[in-house]
Amino acid sequence: MNKPKLLVMDDYEEELAQSPAMEHLRQLADVTILNHPIDNYNILKDFQFVLALRERTKLDVRFFESCSSLELVLQTGGHAYHVDQAAATQKGIIVALGRRVSKPAVVVPELALGFMLGLVRQIYPHTTAMSNGEWRGMIGGSLAGRMLGILGYGRHGRPVARLAEAFGMKVVAWDRTGSHPAPDEFGVRRLPLDDLLAESDVVSIHLRLSDESRGLMGREKLWRMKPGAILVNTSRGAIIDESALIDALREKRIAGAGLDVFAVEPLPESSPLRRMPNVLLTPHVGWQVRDVFHEFVEIAADQLDAWLKNELPKSDMLNPDAMKVNRPRSGGLGQ
């Protein structure tokens, strides 16, 4: 009996292919791995399964209409901002989320602290000067004793607080519930958002993208930040109004920004953010470490195995209603 076919998309670094769990996938399906963007959607028609790497390919109406045989998308990571859920459901295609991935809860906070250190200690200007043959010291600062304000005190925000405290920072937090419980076991206080912005030397964003958080850091909130503060975003680009941020940086309302995520990705070459000396930029790599790629494959293999045994939990599915669409399937929902 022929195995069903699985397409692994967007493995540009060829790291998914190196995962030890890839052998498990190959036992379950005939695997094809793409190390470049899809340039012809016609290839999709032959595959029953797709492993999608984060948001590198937009899973929109055009995508799903090109998938005549597709029954299951193994979506790495726990977010699906790039997925047209209605289109997938209408076609009867289940999207399984890799919510169990654990490593980003560690590596994303590490990048956030890297931005803070880089900006406060003037690492990029010093590196640029040295590359130009100069030897001159610029006055930097220290994280010790500074106030860090965390927007979103959850899966990523809490580890950021622990790391910041190791550098001697004081930490306050705000979350969307608006509640102000007593300080936790680490002494982290909750503050109203406006108070946090006014008091913090560093503001680090760790919120999910939602209707409430989209555009949250617009001109009004940016101008409430402490003069000379820095802003770090390793969450979602659309939480910040980029045009307002550019104005705040140009007018020196804030001292700098460290950004891993952007409203439009890739960040357009024309963006002024690319040429600002007080900005550190990375191309949405907060999650990109080898262990995360390998864990993605492990979870996808487990989910595909469960699907083929009719044991995939409904809790793993973004759109379990797609199961109601009458169509041939290799597997399905567990009891």
Which residues are tagged catalytic? Answer: 236, 265, 284
* Residue 233 structure tokens: 């975003």
Interhelix angle 104-120/157-166, nearest 10 degrees: 50
Do 36 and 17 form a contact (C-beta atoms < 8 A)? no
Tokens of 93: 């295609």
State phi, psi for 67 to the nearest 5 degrees. -105, 80
Burial classification of residue 94, based on how many CB atoms lie within 10 Å of its CB (0-12 exposed, 13-18 middle, 19 or more buried): buried
The residues, any chain, with a CB within 8 Å of residue 191's CB and separated by 6 or more, are: 149, 172, 173, 174, 180, 199
Residue 143 contacts residue 117 (beta carbons within 8 Å): yes
Cβ–Cβ under 8 Å, residues 118 and 282:
no
Element (H, E) at 51: strand 49-52
Residue of 313, 331, 322 lying closest to 90 (CA atoms) = 322
